[in-house]
Amino acid sequence: MMIKGLVILLLYQGAGEILARGLSSPVPGPVIGLVLLLASLLWRQKTDPDLQMVANGLTAHLGLLFVPAAVGVVSFLPMLKGYMLAIFAVLVVSVILAMATTALILKRRAADRPAE
């Protein structure tokens, strides 16, 4: 059953790759594929059980996807030390902006919701 869910994901990724290369898009193919998958899920308003099983399995092991990034950071650590202050500043500003944006969206959504 998981094979069907994996095939669905790979088909959307493949469609995204074809669109990205065909349109010479700066957006990566897998990102376009995820947008297509999201659009089809919103249009259908239901999720295929096999796709849901694969998605749950992938998200359960999402931490493993950070291992290559961590290895890359460690291998480039000497070079990154020279930019540590700039990296720290960008991380702090981006976290503040993300929190502020989330708060504004939640505030706006709460104001739009009718009183119960």
Domain layout of the chain by residue ranges: 1-60, 69-116
pLDDT tens digits for range 24-42: 888 888 899 989 988 998 8
pLDDT tens digits for range 106-115: 988 887 777 6
- Helix, strand or coil for residue 46? coil
Please give the single-letter amino acid code of residue 107: K
Per-residue pLDDT at 100? 96
Asked whether the predicted pLDDT for residue 104 surpasses 90, the reply is yes
Non-local CB neighbours of 50 within 8 Å, separated by 6+ positions = 1, 2, 4, 5, 8
Label residue 116 by pLDDT band (50, 70, 90): low
The DSSP 8-state label assigned to residue 84 in this structure reads H
- Give the Cα separation of 12 and 38 in Å (integer): 10
Tokens of 42: 């919103």
Asked whether the predicted pLDDT for residue 103 surpasses 70, the reply is yes
Percent share of the chain, pLDDT over 70? 97
pLDDT tens digits for range 46-70: 888 888 888 888 888 888 888 888 8
Non-local CB neighbours of 32 within 8 Å, separated by 6+ positions = 15, 16, 17, 19, 20, 25
